[in-house]
Structures are given as C-alpha cells and as structure tokens.
A = this chain, B = another copy of it.
Amino acid sequence: MNAEVIAVGSELLLGQITNSNARFLSEKMTGLGINVYYHTTVGDNRERLTEAIRVASGRADLVIMTGGLGPTKDDLTKETLAEYLDKELVIHGQTLDVITRFFEKRRQPMTANNKKQAQVIKGSHVFKNNHGLACGMVTDTTPSFLLLPGPPKEMYPMVEEEVIPYLAGKGGSGVEITSRVLRFFGIGESALADMFDDLIENQENPTIAPLASGGEVTLRLTAKGASLSNKKALDELESTILSSVNDFFYGYGNDPLSKVAAEKLKSSNMTIASAESLTGGLFGEWMTEHSGASSFYNGGVICYDAKVKQNVLNVKEETVRNYGTVSAECAEELAVNVKAVLGSDIGISFTGVAGPYSLENKEPGIVFLGISTPSGTKSYPLNLAGSRAQIRERAAMYGCFYLLRELN
C-alpha cells in the first residue's frame, strides 16, 4: 500500500509555519509498513485543492489530508473532496452532540459555521477528536481519503489513539519497515558511499542511504519484511559495513557526536576541563547542553587572547616565542594546565586559525587539539576546510571524536 500526504493551508505556502504534520504522518505510516511516496502542500483554494486531490488520486492507494476542517470560510477540505468524489455531506450525530455540549458548557451561541464541523462525507468511518471540535474520517472510496485536523495538538493524538489501530486492523501488507542509522565522523559522504558502491548499486532489501548533515555522515539501513528477519538482515549488513569503516563509526540513531562524547564522559566517572581559543566556548557549550553536566564538566577557560593563554593558563613565554600559539606544543601545555588550574581528570584544548585571515603565518584551518588524561598527553594536528563557522565547529567535533577514542 502506498500513501500521499496532502497538507492544506495557505500559511504553509507563505512560509509562516513548517509542515511538521507531514513528517509525523510519514513516520507513523512507515511504522505501519505503508510507503509514503509523495507529500503535497496546497493553499486554502478550491481549484488548486481539487487539482492536488486529482493528482494524488492517480498515484496513491491512501490519500491523507490534514487541515482545512475548521469552521471558517477558508476551511474547504471536506467540501472540495465531497464534490470531487460526488458524495453528499451528512451530519454526524455524535460529533454534533460534542459540539453542542461544548457551546452549552461555555454559554456561547453555536453558529452555522460550527455545525458545519459536524458534517462528514457519506459512507465514511469517523474518528473522534478528543482535543478539538473537528472530527476525522476515512472514506469508503478507492483510493481512500483519510481526513485529519491540522493542529498537531488535535491530529497527533487522533492518529495515535484511533487512526493507527484502525489502519493496523485493516491489515494491509503485513510487511514491516525497520530502519537503523549508523553515525560516522572524519570521513566524507562521497568517500563513504564509494566504499559501498556495489552494495548501494545492487541494493534491494535491505537498502543503504548515506546522508551528510552538520559535518557528520550517517548511513540509514532499511529492511522490509517480518520483524525478526529485518533485525537479522540489518545486523548482517551492519557487520559488513563496520568491518571496513569501523575507524570512523561512533554511534547509532539521532545523537550527535557532542552528545555521545558527553554521555561517555559521564559514564567514565572522570571530569574534564577545556581550554578554547579558536572555538571560543563552543566545546563548553556542547558539554553543558544537557542537564547533569556538572558531574563531568568542571568548566573551562576561553583563552582567545594570547595573554590569557599565558597569564591564566600559564603557557610558557618561550613556547609562544619558539612555536607560536598555533602549535602542538601550545595545545599540549594548554591541555595539561587547564586540567591543573580547574582541578579535573582530563584537559582538552583547541588552538588554531578559524580564518578568514592567516595567523602566525598559518592558514585558516590549521588547528591543534591537545588532550591530557591521567595516562598522558597527546596533540592532534588538523587541517580543516570550510568557512570560519565550519572550521570552528569541526575543530570542536574532532575534539569530541578523539576524546571518545581516548575513553574507549
């Protein structure tokens, strides 16, 4: 079975709000083994709405429409669909009762507009709205049309509590779709895709989809079938993949590198302090993003100015004179000293050139990381590409990545 989601509302087309309903519905349908092949968004306009219904009718088994079920003149979904299907609109008694009681309770007059909300397309199965007045429905036509209210506060619970059980009961394909996301850092999307060219080219089930986002690359593995055989297929594919790129793999799911590093630190029972020059506080900001950070992050020194490196973090004058502040030597001293000054188990440091101009005759992108743990101190030279913002972000990400390696 394949589905199309049509979101109705001019505010979406004006860019005033994001279409988060389409994401929610896609996720839920995928979980039911229903393939969503298209999303469409259309405004509160009868002609264009009819056109969207016509196009979707030609290519989907299930058309899910959200929005346009409200009481006002520009809510047209039900009326337009009924006309397209050549079906009558009839009053749904239970829904009318709910609406009538709602206005009685508030001692407000009920208008003809409000009564309109109790209308359903003849022959539909009706879904109750526990958080608003507009009921949902699914038509008895081919393709079938599922009509849902637009406000997420009404639509999400209706889908969870009523629509999913209804669709699951209808059986459908019996096929489940299972996804697993593997996260990588330090390797580009194309390099990663190249390594699995054969697998991607010839894939049927399971499939591999690479995606680059925020300096990380993920591979999404997706299997279709019975739940147990899906798990087995994904396990096998994962082993194949990790046997060649294990060095760049760092985790599963949706957690970015910074969160994985923070979790690892927390579970290591060690504390860390940071000395940040080019990153200006970004690493500290990441470490303190989630609550409970005080158990592993003591704090840090943002040593942006060279004098702060020397006066607050005691970097030797001769280090600066002989090697400069952008050097492995300075990075190591910063890591060792920030650990001592803040009294932590681990010290991490970031010094380098964020750009766009060179510094100490070093090009933008030249960065040195220092990590000092109870078992010793190391430095890592990096040569990063990109804008100032990307160089800063990637430097902080490499810090998280090498820290994870140190802690493993």
Chain A interface (Cβ within 8 Å of chain B)?
A: 7, 10-20, 22-30, 35-45, 48, 51-52, 55, 59, 70-74, 102, 105-108, 111, 113-114, 130-131, 151, 153, 179, 188-191, 193-194, 197, 200-201, 209-214, 220, 222, 274, 276, 278-285, 287-291, 293-294, 297-305, 307-308, 311-312, 341-343, 354-357, 365, 383, 385-390, 392
Contact = CB atoms under 8 A, between A and B. Distances in A.
B301 A305 contact: no
B38 A42 contact: yes
A22 B19 contact: yes
Contact of A304 (B282, B299, B343): B299
A385 B107 CA distance: 11
Nearest to A15: B27
Given A38-B41, A113-B190, A290-B388, 13 more contacts: A7-B39, A12-B26, A14-B179, A19-B19, A19-B23, A38-B48, A38-B52, A74-B209, A280-B281, A284-B302, A288-B302, A298-B307, A301-B301
Contacts of A209: 10-11, 44, 74
Majority SS at the chain A contact face? mixed
Contacts of A51: 59
Contact of A301 (B22, B105, B293, B299): B299
Contacts of A113: 190, 193-194
B285 A285 contact: yes
Contact of A189 (B70, B279, B308): B70
A303 B43 CA distance: 47
A390 B131 contact: yes
A299 to B, nearest CB: 4
Contacts of A284: 276, 280-281, 284, 302, 304
Contacts of A130: 387
A281 B291 contact: no
Contact of A13 (B36, B44, B74, B291): B36
Nearest to A305: B298
Number of copies: 2
6 contacts: A70-B190, A113-B190, A113-B194, A130-B387, A284-B304, A288-B354
A286 to B, nearest CB: 8
Given A11-B220, A220-B11, A300 B302 contact: yes
A39 B37 contact: no
Given A113-B193, A308-B299, A11 B211 contact: yes
Given A15-B30, A41-B22, A304 B294 contact: yes
Contact of A280 (B42, B280, B289): B289
Contact of A287 (B35, B213, B280): B280
Nearest to A208: B74
A206 B33 CA distance: 45
Contacts of A343: 307, 311
A291 B387 CA distance: 11
A299 B315 CA distance: 15
A23 to B, nearest CB: 4
Contacts of A105: 365, 383, 385
A383 B29 CA distance: 38
Contacts of A151: 212-213
Nearest to A300: B302
Contacts of A300: 281, 301-302, 304
A307 to B, nearest CB: 7
Contacts of A29: 15
A42 B48 contact: no
B389 A289 contact: yes
Contacts of A386: 131
Contact of A212 (B70, B108, B193): B70
B304 A297 contact: yes
Contacts of A36: 13-15
